[in-house]
Structure 1
Amino acid sequence: MADICRRAFVEGRVQGVWFRGSTQEQARRLGVGGWARNLPDGRVEVLMCGPESAVSQLEKWLHKGSPFSKVKNVTVTDEADYQTFDGFTTS
């Protein structure tokens, strides 16, 4: 299976509820590299790169989110170029 990158924008109550930290835990468990960051408009942006099956699992998890989050919408796009990351970070 090929390695891919996808970018997600997650809307809802996703800041201040440990969403990025939970995403990082899930990504590390799945072996997905990339990052998650808060955006000024209240969304969280996530870049996920790795084996297609693992990225798809993380994408599915984003729709649920952390225990205290309330995800309303997730928009995902495929990235044209694959990027290599040394782990998964948050900012």
Structure 2
Amino acid sequence: MNEDVRLTAWVRGKVQGVGFRWFTRANALQIGGLRGFALNLEDGRVQVVAEGPRAQCDLLLDWLRAGDTPGRVDGVTEIWDTPRGGYESFAIR
């Protein structure tokens, strides 16, 4: 159950211009073991890609949905996949 996975999440709401990506990165680093990025999309959403152990990705997804984030999260859509690699740490793009 703790195999490495790839989580891709799209976060809707007031999530741009409020430090959301920075706090997402800080939280991912605090959870530990995650690599990936947070990226503003042109349609106002933030895309979060995280690779690492399933348990850590679940913690990040729970945080994204919990409402304890900057701005306002109206919803999160996610997909799970196998890791693709290529990330050295968790970055803001």
Note whether the superposition's TM-score is higher than 0.5: yes
SS of alignment partner, residue 23 of structure 1: helix
Question: Taking every aligned residue pair, what percent have the same amino acid on both sides?
Answer: 35
SS at match of 1:21: helix
What letter corresponds to residue 45 of structure 2 in structure 1? R
In 1, Cα distance between equivalents of 2:4 and 2:50? 10
In the alignment, structure 2 segments of 5+ residues that lack a partner are none
| CA RMSD, Structure 1 to Structure 2 (Å) | 1.1
2:19 is the alignment partner of 1:18:
yes
TM-score (norm 1): 0.92
Q: Which residue does 1:74 correspond to in 2?
A: 76
Once residues 59 and 34 of structure 1 are traced to their aligned partners in structure 2, the CA distance between those partners, rounded to angstroms, is 13
AA matched with 1:46: V
Aligned to 2:91: 89
TM-score (norm 2): 0.90
Displacement over 6 Å in runs of 4+: none
Per the alignment, residue 44 of structure 1 pairs with 46
